[in-house]
Structure 1
Amino acid sequence: MQVVVFGATGQVGKQLVKQALYKGYAVKAFGRNVFTTDLPKDDNLELIQGALFDEKDVYNALKGCNVVLSALGGAFDGTDVTRSLGIKNIIKQMQKVGLKRIIAVGGMGILNAEDGTLLIDGEDYPQQYIPVGREHLKAYEALKASNLDWTFVCCPDIIDAEATGEFITKADYPPVPNKYQINTGNLALFMLNEAIKNEFVQHRVGISN
C-alpha cells in the first residue's frame, strides 16, 4: 500500500509516517518543512516539499497512492484556513487523480450531541474552541459533499504520546466513556487500521483514550 500524509511534520503526522513505515507501507510525507523536520530515514519514505494550496503540488503527491491521511493543523483563533481550504484542494485533486479514500483529522465539536445537533452548537461548548471548530466544520462539509470514501476523526485534546492500543471509538457521536484525550500514537494507529478495515466510511468518528 502507498499512503500520502498531509501535515506530515506535525505531532500526528509524524506518528502516521512512523507507524505506516513500520507496517511496511510506501509513504509520501507532504509539507513545507519535510526536509528540516526529524522524520525517519527509510527507503520506503519519500519526502515531498510542497504547498497545500498549490493544485499541482498536491496533484503530483497524490499520484500512485491508495489512501490519503490528512493531519492538517494550524492556529486555533480562526485566522488560519489551512484545515478548510487545504482539505478542499486535496478533495479536488483526489477527484482529478481518481483516488477515493481519505481519512482526516478534525475536532470533537463536529460530532452529534444526544439531541442530534452538533456539540459545537451547544451552549456549554468551550468558547475558545469555537473558531477552530468552525474550520473543522467547513472541512467536514466539504468531505460530506464530495464523492469520496471519507472518514473524519473528530478528536478531543490530542496528547503527544505513543500508541498504547487502548482507545475507544463511536460513529458520529462521542464515545462512552470519554476521557476527552487521545494520544497521537493511538490516533495514528486508528487511522491506519481504518485504512484497511474501512469500518467508518462516510462517517465521523468520536475517539478517546
Structure 2
Amino acid sequence: MNVTVFGATGAIGSLTVDELLDRGYTVTAYARNRAKVPTRWGEKVRVVIGEMSDAAAIDNAIAGADVVVSALGPSMDRKATGLPLVEGTRHILDAMKRHGVARYIGHGTPSILDPREKPTWQTRLIGFMGRHGLPRAYKELLGMSELIMNSGANWTIIRFTAPMNTPKTGKLRVGFYGTDRIGFAVSRADIAAFTAVQVDDDTYINAAPAISH
C-alpha cells in the first residue's frame, strides 16, 4: 500500500513515516526543506519537496497513493500570518479527488468536536486557550478540520492536546469527550503509532477520536 505523508519531517511526521516503514508500507514524504529529511530513511522513502501553496508538487506527491496522512500543524510563531495550511489542505483534497484517493488521516484539536459529541469542560477549556492564546493557529486548525470533514473523503482526525517528547508506551486512552475518559498529555511517538495503525483500520472512518495517556 502506498501512503503519502504531509508534514513528514516534523516531530510527529518523521516518527509517523518510521512507523509506516516498519509496517511495510511504501511511503512518499512531502517536505518543505530537503535538509530536514532524516538520513535514516535513505532510499526507502520517496521525497517530494514543495511548499503547501504548490499545487503541482502536492499533486505529484499524491499521484499513485492509496492513503494520505497529514501530520501538518500550524506554526506557533506569533509573528506568522495567513492560513497557509488551510490553502494547502484544499490542494491536498483537490489532488485526492483527481487521483481517486478516498482515505485521509490527519491530526486536530479537541476544539473541533466529533459529530457524536457535545462540548465538555475539556473541549471548552482547550477552545478558550486556543482562541485567546494562539488565535491564528487556532483558526488554521479549525479551517483545516472543517475542510476535511466536509470533503466527502473517508477521513479520520486524531485529536490530542499536549504532545510530549517521551518514549512510546503503546498504552493510550482512545475515545470521545463526554463518553470516555480522556486526559491531556500524550507522547509524540504514541501519536505516530496510532496514526499509522489507522491506514488499514476502518474503526474510526468519518470520526475524530481523541487520544491521551
TM-score (norm 1): 0.88
Structure 1 gap ranges (5+): none
Structure 2 gap ranges (5+): none
Q: Is residue 2:49 matched to residue 1:52?
A: no
Secondary structure of 1:68 counterpart: strand
Give me the CA root mean square deviation: 2.6
Q: 5 Å matches for 1:128-147?
A: 128-147=133-152
1:131–1:57 Cα change, 3 Å = same
User: Any idea what the Cα deviations from partners look like across 1:83-131, whole Å, max 9, x if unmatched?
Assistant: 322211111111111101010111121136x982486666982221444
1:67–1:39 Cα change, 3 Å = farther
1:123–1:188 Cα change, 3 Å = closer
Residue type of the alignment partner of 2:153: L
What is the rounded CA distance, in whole Å, between the counterparts of 2:44 and 2:38 in structure 1?
Answer: 16
1:39–1:104 Cα change, 3 Å = farther
What is the rounded CA distance, in whole Å, between the counterparts of 1:37 and 1:7 in structure 2?
Answer: 11
Aligned-pair identity in percent equals: 25
Q: 5 Å matches for 1:82-93?
A: 82-93=84-95
Q: Is residue 2:207 matched to residue 1:199?
A: no
Alignment match, 2:128: 125
State how many pairs are aligned: 208
What is the rounded CA distance, in whole Å, between the counterparts of 1:121 and 1:133 in structure 2?
Answer: 13
What is the rounded CA distance, in whole Å, between the counterparts of 1:105 and 1:203 in structure 2?
Answer: 12
Does the Cα contact within 8 Å between 1:105 and 1:154 map onto a contact in 2? Answer: yes
1:44–1:115 Cα change, 3 Å = closer
- Following TM superposition, by how much is the alpha carbon of 1:17 offset from its aligned partner in structure 2, in angstroms? 1.0
- Following TM superposition, by how much is the alpha carbon of 1:66 offset from its aligned partner in structure 2, in angstroms? 1.1
1:59–1:175 Cα change, 3 Å = farther
Residue type of the alignment partner of 1:135: E
